Amino acid sequence: MRVFKILALFMAIALLLISSPDFISAQDEDAEYDDAAYEALLEKGKEYYNARCEACHGADGDGKGFVDIIRVSEKNGRVLEIYPRDFTVGVYKFRSTATGCLPDDKDLMGTVKRGITKSLMPPQDNISSEETEAVVEYVKSFSERYEEEDPCDQISVADPPVWVASEKSIEKGKKIYKDMKCWECHGDLGKGDGPKSNDITDDWGKRLLPFNFVTGELKRGSTAENVYMTFTAGLDGTGMPSYQDTLNEEDRWHLVSYTLKLMGLTESDKKTASH
């Protein structure tokens, strides 16, 4: 069911991208906005932001809204402390660009649409594409980074190889998991309880807990492509580095297989679950 939902979401996004060529062209002509139109866009974005985002992310986009820290108790009793993103820094986890880069606008828009249900950021499913664009533009305006840098190119992801999630690939992934010391944070069994798990902080000194594969779904969505993108682009601001340079593409896909196995999302897992 969930898979179906995610799939539907992707289909919707894909359809959206294909069906609105002027949307894409607007992207390309970003710099050519005239000031008045840009102001109007920002105004629209601000309105939406204040109604929907301000409570958590704060009126100034510094992540210090009235809601403050959100606490989530995972199924194993581990309590995650979630801080709403500080937009003034301009560092984002969910990108399809190389590590250290600004995210592509599509990444931000995707996050707004999809929400981050794992962190209780609600999906904005009834938002129009103009509104999304406006709110993303407004969010970008909080950070000075956007005035100085341009987003890097998106990393293209091919379809996952057919052998992903196969027995052999899982075995190889398991070895990589061991060799690359993933277990130091994520634990031997992927429960997020590795030896270093207790002293990880993000770039701003707040405590982070490594992802627990066994109980959770991935924040950006648990498809093979998303897992692959996490390995490739890294999660900026956290302890999760990019493996674009250290692992070749094939190895990353093997690691994806093993991750899916830990999350119980391979075909054989589903079969046993349905029994």
Partner 1 sequence: MHSRFYLSLLLISSLVLMMFIGMGVYREMTSEWKTYQTEYKNMLVRNAEDDAARKRAEKLEIGLRQNYVASLNKSDRCMSCHIGVENPYMAKADQPFTLHSGDYIENHPVDKFGCTICHYGQGRATNKKEAHGKGHTHWDYPIIPTKYIQSACAKCHDYKMLQEEGAELVVKGEKLFREKGCRGCHKLNGVGGDLGKALDGIGSKPRAYYAMKHVVGEHTAYNWIKQHFDDPRAIVPTSEMRVFMEEDESDLLTTYIFSIREEEMPSKYRFLKNIVTPPRDGESLYKMFCVACHGSGKISVYDEIFDRTIPAITNPPFLRSADNKTIKNIVMEGRGGTQMTSWKTTASGLKEEDVDKIVEYVASSRTYERPEPFNYLEFQTNIDSGMRLYNNRCSYCHGKEGKGGNRQLGINLKNSTVQQVLDPEFLALTIRDGREGTPMPSFGGDGLGLSDQNIADVVAYVKTFGKKK
- Note the residues at the interface with partner 1 (CB under 8 A): 50-52, 54-56, 65-68, 70-77, 79, 117, 120, 122, 124, 215
Q: How far is the CB of 39 from partner 1 (least distance, A)?
A: 22
Rg (CA), the chain: 19
Residue type for position 20: S
Our CB check for partner 1 shows the closer of 49 and 243 to be 49
User: How many angstroms separate the CA atoms of 226 and 13, rounded?
Assistant: 15
Our CB check for partner 1 shows the closer of 138 and 253 to be 138
Torsion of CA 127, 131, 135, 138, to 10 degrees: -170
Our CB check for partner 1 shows the closer of 117 and 248 to be 117
Our CB check for partner 1 shows the closer of 126 and 156 to be 126
CB 191 within 8 A of CB 76: yes
Q: How far is the CB of 92 from partner 1 (least distance, A)?
A: 21
Q: How far is the CB of 117 from partner 1 (least distance, A)?
A: 5
Q: How far is the CB of 137 from partner 1 (least distance, A)?
A: 20
Q: How far is the CB of 113 from partner 1 (least distance, A)?
A: 13
Our CB check for partner 1 shows the closer of 81 and 167 to be 81
Q: How far is the CB of 273 from partner 1 (least distance, A)?
A: 9
Our CB check for partner 1 shows the closer of 114 and 254 to be 114
